[in-house]
Amino acid sequence: MAGFLAYLAQKGKAKYLVSQVQIASLIDGRLRVIYENLKHDAELRQQVQQELAQIKEITSFTINPVTGSVVINYDHHKAQQNQFLAELLVQARLKLQRS
């Protein structure tokens, strides 16, 4: 049961995050999002950096404060091993399909 609750928490977090950003591009191994608040909020950029740095399936990332974009490079063969990253990618694909 605890594993299922953790899954639901990660799914909800990923769904919320994707609802707040513009998906600029998504290909296997690379996701680029734009979030206007990143342009003006150094503390938010720091939080994003700390969160992304903890996900071992992410091979690199870049936060651009000028454009408000985040580019996430990840190992697409291992992305499913991280519940949050896997759900983030699912939600990003769904958002792209709807737009």
**Extents of the domains making up the chain:** 2-98
pLDDT digits 0-9 by tens, 14-45: 888 898 999 999 999 999 999 999 999 999 99
pLDDT of residue 72: 98
Q: Is the pLDDT of residue 7 over 90?
A: no
Report field, pTM of the whole predicted structure over 0.85: yes
Are the CB atoms for 63 and 45 separated by under 8 Å?
yes
Q: What is the pLDDT of residues 43-99, one digit of tens each?
A: 999 999 999 999 999 999 999 999 999 999 999 999 999 999 999 999 999 999 998
State the CATH class of domain 2-98.
Answer: alpha beta
Distance CA 49, CA 29 (A): 18
Residue type, 68: G
Decide: 92 and 85 in contact? Cβ < 8 Å: no
